[in-house]
Structure 1
Amino acid sequence: MARDVSDTTPITTRAELVAWIADGEKPRSEWRLGTEHEKIPFYTADASPVPYEGGRGIRALLEGLQARTGWEPILEQEQPIGLFDEAGGGAISLEPGGQFELSGAPLRTLHETADETALHIDHVKAVGQELGLGFLTLGMSPLWTRAQTPVMPKARYKIMTDYMPKVGSLGLDMMYRTCTVQVNMDYESEADMVRKLRVSLALQPIATAIFANSPFTDGKPNGFLSRRSAIWLDTDRDRTGMMDFAFDDGFGYEAYVDWALGVPMYFVKRDSTYHDVAGASFKDLFEGRFARLPGERATRSDWANHVSTLFPEVRLKRYLEMRGADVGPPEQIVALSAFWAGLLYDSAALDGAWELVKGWSAAERNRLRADVPTLALKAEIAGRSVREIAREALALSEAGLRRRAFKDAAGQDETRHLAYAQEIVETGVTPAERLLERYHGAWNGSVEPAFRECVF
């Protein structure tokens, strides 16, 4: 999440909301990948959390990165809360508990994604080392309690923090203690969007299983392989989940807009002020009967910001955002993008993926979603194991990447970026299970070695 949008153009019709999403359509020649990943900073001296302020805090990290990269600061109340690359389109932002996020630029190939990820990590590590900071490659904070976790000075997060306990028991854990990796994908038409959304929704738990990497909380095993994924099941049911309606006949932009209109708002931003309207209806703002801010009408900014606060397993904005995976080391980050690029950006692979999932019922998809955080590759759907389905999905993705035929300077195509995921599926052992083996073995029942071994 980089910057809230600023466009004060009024929106007066539902058709304009639909058109805003439709404007994301791009011809195949312009399809790009945008990879985002979060990471938890810590002090290397004692594995303690990093506050915003202080000579070695998050603010100092942002200022050091600004000096190193030349990226422009993103300010709120005159405090830096992120950085923006005006030329390339990438951004750095802060999640509520100080998780440091790169929102990557839209790139054509996975080779570029790998290079971008490596360069960013080089920058972060260089500045971090000067400040005595390291960064975890885990999907959830493994040691600190929620009370020990720092709070970033962003007004929208204060609003969300107050609202989350009203709609779920784990929303604050989601905000302050989890880390994900996501990939953003383009579509060329409404029909293309629908096809990709349905396939990626159905297969999102498969990605969750492959990359499961959050087995520790509060200094001990938490009973899950992807605790981050499990947390989303009790965060806010109004704005999360598997979007069963996306599989209904006639689904398209309008149906998504109608769903979004029914999801309660968090805030309305006017100039630099965030107005807390949590729980209020966007439809009321849109229709000019918004009791919280009398006289206000919806703008394009309001709509774009509202859509960014919806958290289904796959989010539709002006692109499709895959949201199902825990973060991991750099090769895991790029492997996730490779998995989806091979499946969704090649027509034959997309057709094959649809054949793989089209017979699953809504009940089966939701049961899989509920089982995967605990069972990962051992979960089942329609009589088949997730590991078996993952192997088939990876084969489709590999063939799709081969047909894309984008080669690096050494003449290798993009299939090399799938190797990390393929090794997991072939062995049947997720990253989380490897960590649990170490916890019960070489780590002697402590998670503190993670702060030496599970780092960028």
Structure 2
Amino acid sequence: MAMMPGRAARYIAALVAPAPQPHIVVPCRASPPLSSPSHVADTLITDRTQLVQYIAGGEKPRADWRIGTEHEKFGFRLDDLRPPEFDGERGIEALLKGLTRFGWDAVEEKSRVIALTRDGASVTLEPAGQLELSGAALETIHQTCVEVGTHLKEVKEVADELRLGFLGMGFQPKWRRDEMPWMPKGRYKIMKSYMPKVGSLGLDMMTRTCTVQVNLDYASEADMVKKFRVSLALQPIATALFADSPFTEGKPNGYQSYRSHIWTDTDPDRTGMLDFVFEDGFGYERYVDYLLDVPMYFSYRDGIYHDASGQSFRDFLKGELPVLPGALPTLRDWSDHMTTAFPEVRLKKFLEMRGADGGPWNRLCALPAFWVGLLYDDTALDAAWDLVKDFSLAERHALRDGVPRDALKLPFRGGTVRDVAAEALKIAVAGLRRRACVNSKGVDESGFLDALIEIVESNETPAERKLKLFAGEWNGSVDPVFREFAY
């Protein structure tokens, strides 16, 4: 798999050679947005098969496959670079209220604005006020980039008035955990108390990390299984390409994706590579069994988060949940519980790719392009499966464990992760070209991968570039990152 010296540049250059463009814009039909717990009915669960059927209900015909992109970003005050609190005239709630001028509807919890919704999208808060756009279910990467760009423009307009800025990276580069604020959301209070019981870095995950992810559809159980296996095996490759979290509390931390490393000591019950996905017989039922063994965090009822941390959803199914004795769960409880598992790839009514650090606009567009190119074209999906199908369990774990530190330069099978990344990008480019979703100028989606191709061609991750700046013109300070890399 290793490339000979001098071959890499020619190999990557071939990926971006001009391709014939179709003359017709691919038509796209409307479909419902990707599922959200807030839209799940309070249907009582009386049989375990309902849990399986809930996931199977995500199946969609190819014409209705959509792309849902999510990204998080750190807020900071322009004068002192500190993260804004929730309260106050320059706080996060003020920012959310300011965004309502663009047609966003406010979502309140205990009379406080904690989220926004508009046209199938939402703006939500992570525990320390990281601002997240959960995008609508869209047809093309072109639309995704318009959505992301519009959101960032709206945020900047309001943030400028509040003298705030926003930064896309995987880990908070400057401030200590105890210097991060906490948002007034009930589920975060429960998680804050529980996390230190099961891992040493869970509170860092909550308060000091940011990611970009994409949510993609499947047609059937077999299609889900194949996509799950491919995306899980290649998730470390995405981590390497997007590695952008090399600083902790103002100093290099020894990692390129410290965000990814943090998940290795957050909570072993709900994180990891899910080896059972590669076992014979894997499907919806096996994933339900996994989720039933993930300890609960809470049950949300009558506007109250009931602390069920560490308790069993299996007991809940029998009406024996200690915090709610005699109560049976609803599909809303199940949907909420599914969001409290944090593997590298997560299955709900769609598949979520969770391996990438947050970053600038072009990489926020590149992540969905990467996975859509690999998973939404049959030829590409077959080629991606051929690339990873003989990865052993030990190799998959070696990639997962080694990439946070070494990224593209991690040795693998006589070459490096860079070689695997180059091959995956070749497949993704071809997949997007065959997909042939073009914009009004007749340009397809493959150009959104240029940012990743350049990273592979240079063999230098975003983290490595920032480390060079830190050692050079930044004179050992991370403060310039807030100026030079802000949205």
Q: Is the contact between residue 179 and residue 327 of structure 1 (CA under 8 Å) also seen in structure 2?
A: yes
* Residues 30 and 89 of structure 1: CA distance in aligned 2, closer, same or farther (over 3 Å): same
Counterparts of 1:355-370 in structure 2, within 5 Å, are 355-370=386-401
Indicate the SS of the match to 1:49. coil
- Whole-angstrom CA distance in 2 between matches of 1:325 and 1:192: 23
Counterparts of 1:205-216 in structure 2, within 5 Å, are 205-216=236-247
Q: Is the contact between residue 2 and residue 92 of structure 1 (CA under 8 Å) also seen in structure 2?
A: no
1:49 Cα deviation after fit: 1.4
Indicate the SS of the match to 1:147. helix
Show the counterpart of 2:265: 234
Show the counterpart of 1:262: 293
1:2 Cα deviation after fit: 7.5
1:363 Cα deviation after fit: 1.4
Q: Quick check: 1:45 aligned with 2:74?
A: no
Residue in structure 1 matching 2:121, options 67, 84, 90? 90
Q: Is the contact between residue 2 and residue 82 of structure 1 (CA under 8 Å) also seen in structure 2?
A: no
Show the counterpart of 1:14: 48
Show the counterpart of 2:6: none
- Whole-angstrom CA distance in 2 between matches of 1:300 and 1:173: 30
* Residues 9 and 199 of structure 1: CA distance in aligned 2, closer, same or farther (over 3 Å): same
1:344 Cα deviation after fit: 0.2
Show the counterpart of 2:157: 126
Q: Quick check: 1:115 aligned with 2:146?
A: yes
Show the counterpart of 2:131: 100
* Residues 335 and 375 of structure 1: CA distance in aligned 2, closer, same or farther (over 3 Å): same
Show the counterpart of 1:81: 114
Show the counterpart of 2:415: 384
1:180 Cα deviation after fit: 0.1
- Whole-angstrom CA distance in 1 between matches of 2:98 and 2:36: 18
Counterparts of 1:276-355 in structure 2, within 5 Å, are 276-355=307-386
Q: How many residues align?
A: 453
Q: Is the contact between residue 37 and residue 332 of structure 2 (CA under 8 Å) also seen in structure 1?
A: no
- Whole-angstrom CA distance in 1 between matches of 2:446 and 2:436: 9
1:5 Cα deviation after fit: 5.5
Show the counterpart of 1:414: 445
Indicate the SS of the match to 1:48. coil
Q: Is the contact between residue 96 and residue 151 of structure 1 (CA under 8 Å) also seen in structure 2?
A: yes
Q: Is the contact between residue 92 and residue 103 of structure 1 (CA under 8 Å) also seen in structure 2?
A: yes
Show the counterpart of 1:171: 202
Show the counterpart of 1:32: 66
- Whole-angstrom CA distance in 1 between matches of 2:414 and 2:60: 38
Q: Structure 2-normalised TM-score?
A: 0.92
Amino acid at match of 1:299: T
Runs of 4+ in 1 over 4 A off after TM superposition: 1-6
Show the counterpart of 2:105: 72
Q: Structure 1-normalised TM-score?
A: 0.98
- Whole-angstrom CA distance in 2 between matches of 1:81 and 1:224: 33
> 1:31-60 CA deviation, whole Å, 9 max, x = no partner?
000000000000111211100000010000
Indicate the SS of the match to 1:75. strand
Show the counterpart of 2:90: 56
Amino acid at match of 2:80: D
> 1:367-399 CA deviation, whole Å, 9 max, x = no partner?
110000000001133333110000000000000
Q: Quick check: 1:159 aligned with 2:190?
A: yes
Amino acid at match of 2:131: F
Q: Is the contact between residue 96 and residue 176 of structure 1 (CA under 8 Å) also seen in structure 2?
A: yes
- Whole-angstrom CA distance in 1 between matches of 2:396 and 2:386: 15
- Whole-angstrom CA distance in 2 between matches of 1:161 and 1:344: 36
Question: Structure 2: any 5+ residue segments left out of the alignment?
Answer: 1-34
- Whole-angstrom CA distance in 2 between matches of 1:6 and 1:117: 26
Indicate the SS of the match to 2:391. coil
Show the counterpart of 2:404: 373
Show the counterpart of 2:172: 141
Q: Quick check: 1:404 aligned with 2:435?
A: yes
> 1:57-114 CA deviation, whole Å, 9 max, x = no partner?
00000000012x21111111111101011xx200000000100000000000000011
- Whole-angstrom CA distance in 1 between matches of 2:131 and 2:159: 12
Q: Is the contact between residue 360 and residue 382 of structure 1 (CA under 8 Å) also seen in structure 2?
A: no
- Whole-angstrom CA distance in 2 between matches of 1:443 and 1:291: 54
Amino acid at match of 1:84: T
1:14 Cα deviation after fit: 1.1
Q: Is the contact between residue 306 and residue 323 of structure 2 (CA under 8 Å) also seen in structure 1?
A: no
Q: Quick check: 1:443 aligned with 2:435?
A: no
- Whole-angstrom CA distance in 1 between matches of 2:232 and 2:106: 35
Show the counterpart of 2:17: none
1:352 Cα deviation after fit: 0.3
Amino acid at match of 1:40: F
**Which deviates more from structure 2 when the two are superposed, residues 382-391 or residues 220-229?**
382-391
Indicate the SS of the match to 1:449. helix
Tell me the percent identity: 58
Indicate the SS of the match to 2:407. helix
Show the counterpart of 1:23: 57
Indicate the SS of the match to 2:149. helix
1:7 Cα deviation after fit: 2.4
Amino acid at match of 2:79: A
- Whole-angstrom CA distance in 2 between matches of 1:23 and 1:121: 33
